[in-house]
Amino acid sequence: CQTTTYTDCACFIHLIFYHHHSSSLKTQRRKRKMEIGFLGLGIMGKAMAMNLLKHGFKVTVWNRTLSKCDELVEHGASMGETPAQVIKKCKYTIAMLSDPCAALSVVFDDKDGVLEQICEGKGYIDMSTVDAETSLKINQAITGKGGRFVEGPVSGSKKPAEDGQLIILAAGDKSLFDETVPAFDVLGKKSFYLGQVGNGAKMKLVVNMVMGSMMNAFSEGLVLADKSGLSSDTLLDILDLGAMTNPMFKGKGPSMNKSSYPPAFPLKHQQKDMRLALALGDENAVSMPVAAAANEAFKKARSMGLGDLDFSAVIEAVKFSRE
Ligand SMILES: NC(=O)C1=CN([C@@H]2O[C@H](COP(=O)(O)OP(=O)(O)OC[C@H]3O[C@@H](n4cnc5c(N)ncnc54)[C@H](OP(=O)(O)O)[C@@H]3O)[C@@H](O)[C@H]2O)C=CC1
Ligand SMILES: O=CC(=O)O
């Protein structure tokens, strides 16, 4: 600005502002036009579909228990009566379902399943946590009918889903991935493209295997401190100041010390992930004794009826085994 006039500067600033404003208007328009189907409105799906709506996407939802669609409809979503209806209406459909069995049945069900309407020009994005084999089966069926497929499991829980701060671990059709980026940008803080179908599923299982093992070590530490006459709240302060500090210990520790486990990530899903990660370990001859022990603790917690609570309730299995 030192060598130019005030008018030059004002013009330049105006141009920058105009360019920025018009390109963000274009992005807004692209989002508004993008009609996204959403199958599965559990803890994660509800938060994710709500975020898409808030950011101007047109969203058509379906859930096995249809009444769970009501809240989304109140916020502007349309509703499909079946997965097939949603696929028929939308060019892109995201699924967020509990496990491999649910992911497969929504696609392959003889009547009203995804396959009934998937065809050339349509994209299916499954963000559920499943194993690579399940994802490959779905990919084969979708592409066999001319559609495109991306798997996109996410790391991050209920709160990151509400805040659009998930980490997306995508793999599969690159052109579909690129087209889905505006939606991924709303759902997450970072999207990884990991190559061929199966890599997203495997990466997610590795991440959750580490998380489940950490949660068990943490639970044992809290119980050990308490039973040794130490304050488990002080233990949290000490852990938080050192090299092991992390959002999971910080976020879950205080409620674990109060034996409170409101479900953000249901324990039954964490046990499913440990089971699938151990199977991946079997396939690759990777010895994982720590993960195997953690899986046993999650199984024990499930047998105690804790499957629908948060996965931090595994501490109850540690307490129980001492008694
Ligand atoms: N919660 C979390 O913190 C995270 C979860 N995940 C993964 O995301 C996925 C969803 O998790 P979350 O939302 O917590 O799970 P929920 O248990 O809250 O929701 C599960 C969803 O799957 C549906 N479902 C279950 N079985 C079937 C079936 N046979 N046919 C059709 N629909 C079915 C449920 O429908 P209905 O309402 O009718 O029961 C519901 O919409 C899981 O794979 C989980 O591992 C990944 C990252 C974080
Ligand atoms: O899959 C669970 C998560 O918190 O990530």
Q: How confident is the model at residue 20 (pLDDT cuts 50, 70, 90)?
A: very low
Axis crossing angle, helix 289-303 with helix 314-322, rounded to the nearest 10 = 90
Predicted confidence (pLDDT) at residue 147 exceeds the cutoff of 50: yes
Give the number of whichever ligand sits closest to the CA of residue 273: 1
> Residue 72: which residues within 8 A CB-CB, separation 6 or more?
38, 41, 46, 49, 50, 53, 59, 61, 79
In the chain, CATH 3.40.50.720 covers 34-196
Mean pLDDT of 78-88: 98
Mean pLDDT of 1-16: 42
> Residue 253: which residues within 8 A CB-CB, separation 6 or more?
218, 222, 236, 239
Whether the Cβ atoms of residue 36 and residue 61 lie closer than 8 Å to each other: no
pLDDT for 221-243, tens place per residue?
999 999 999 999 999 999 999 99
Mean pLDDT of 84-92: 98
Predicted confidence (pLDDT) at residue 323 exceeds the cutoff of 70: no
Least confident of 7-11, 49-53, 133-137, 141-145: 7-11
Mean pLDDT of 125-147: 98
The tokens of 1 are what? 């600005």
Query: What per-residue confidence (pLDDT) applies to 109?
Result: 92
The answer, yes or no, to whether any atom of ligand 1 lies below 6 A from the CB of 295, is: no
Q: How far is the CA of 282 from the centre of ligand 1 (A)?
A: 26
Residue type at 102 in one-letter notation: A
Closest CA to ligand 1's atom 26 = 102
Query: What per-residue confidence (pLDDT) applies to 129?
Result: 98
pLDDT for 96-126, tens place per residue?
999 999 999 999 998 999 999 999 999 999 9
**What average pLDDT does the structure give for the chain?**
92
Whether the Cβ atoms of residue 202 and residue 280 lie closer than 8 Å to each other: yes
Query: What per-residue confidence (pLDDT) applies to 320?
Result: 87
> Residue 157: which residues within 8 A CB-CB, separation 6 or more?
264, 265
In the chain, CATH 1.10.1040.10 covers 202-322
Predicted confidence (pLDDT) at residue 40 exceeds the cutoff of 50: yes
Mean pLDDT of 216-223: 98
Query: What per-residue confidence (pLDDT) applies to 322?
Result: 54
Mean pLDDT of 258-286: 98
Which residues are catalytically annotated? 204
Q: How far apart are CA 200 and CA 196, in angstroms?
A: 8
Fold (topology level) of 202-322: N-(1-d-carboxylethyl)-l-norvaline Dehydrogenase; domain 2 (1.10.1040)
Query: What per-residue confidence (pLDDT) applies to 152?
Result: 98
The tokens of 93 are what? 């459909």
Query: What per-residue confidence (pLDDT) applies to 321?
Result: 73
Residue 238: count of CB within 10 angstroms of its CB: 13
Predicted confidence (pLDDT) at residue 75 exceeds the cutoff of 90: yes
Predicted confidence (pLDDT) at residue 198 exceeds the cutoff of 60: yes
- CA-nearest of 121, 143, 139 to 131 is 139
> Residue 134: which residues within 8 A CB-CB, separation 6 or more?
100, 103, 104, 201
Give the number of whichever ligand sits closest to the CA of residue 248: 2
Predicted confidence (pLDDT) at residue 17 exceeds the cutoff of 80: no
Q: How far is the CA of 269 from the centre of ligand 1 (A)?
A: 8
Residue 246: count of CB within 10 angstroms of its CB: 13
CATH of span 34-196: 3.40.50.720
Closest CA to ligand 2's atom 1 = 155
Query: What per-residue confidence (pLDDT) applies to 23?
Result: 46
Question: Percentage helix, strand, coil, to 5, in the chain?
Answer: 60, 15, 25
State which of 48, 99, 155, 209 you would mutate to test the pocket of ligand 2, scoring each by most atoms of that ligand within 8 A of its C-beta.
155
Mean pLDDT of 44-55: 98
Predicted confidence (pLDDT) at residue 28 exceeds the cutoff of 80: no
Q: How far is the CA of 41 from the centre of ligand 1 (A)?
A: 7
> Residue 236: which residues within 8 A CB-CB, separation 6 or more?
249, 250, 253, 254, 257
b (16+ CB within 10 A) / e for 273-308: bbebbbebbeeeeeebeebeebbebbbbbbeeebbe
Q: How far apart are CA 144 and CA 140, in angstroms?
A: 6
Predicted confidence (pLDDT) at residue 27 exceeds the cutoff of 70: no
Q: How far is the CA of 265 from the centre of ligand 2 (A)?
A: 6
Closest CA to ligand 1's atom 46 = 154
